[in-house]
Structure 1
Amino acid sequence: MSGAKAPERMLDPICDMIVVVADAQARGRTVEHDGRTYAFCSNGCVKAFNADPVKWAAKVDASVTASQTLTGEAVIDDGMRRWYASCRCCLSDAYPAIVAQLDAERDAAAAH
């Protein structure tokens, strides 16, 4: 990654469960594909991903694209994962400085 802290949690691309990355790594339930790490809740999800990684990686990318905001908020792409600046869950682990900046901007706007 480009100096950013790796996320502590990810969505399993197969079943959309929230996965603690360290737990998935300890159980051998992470897969590297096309420069990204994917974490899984179960061996069944790992098997499904490995059967067609292009399909599941495309699902992740489509999900990210589909959730793009209409307001033009920035997308942060560090080469491994993509985050939208409005996604506090993603940013809290990956970019705490940006979360602080967004909170300050929100508070300043609310004060006016």
Structure 2
Amino acid sequence: DSCGLPIHHACKNGCNEELLQYLIAQYPESLGVHVGSLGSPLHCVKKEKFPRLLRFLLKEKYRADVENGLPLVHAFLQDDEIEDKDRILALCPFDLDERAEEDDMGR
């Protein structure tokens, strides 16, 4: 609906990674759903307040690419469905060039 999916609300309100994992498991395609002015779940995250959540979403969205050795930043930049890439990159409080090595989320 025009108010967004549960994942949009979870991202906007800074839910924990466990809830996001559950929502993604229930509806994996929700990571790419754009809703009106909300945009995608990536656009809903308050990047300044929830950098771990943003990192988690990016790694989930591009998991297959990253696991196959493509740097996260390249997977992100190649995604034609994501608008405002410059805005998202400018607000990223971490380096997107990291590969799929174990990070602080145990992945």
Q: Shorter-chain TM-score category?
A: under 0.3
Richer in helix (by share): 2
Quick check: which has more Rg, 1 or 2? 1
TM-score normalized with structure 2 length = 0.28
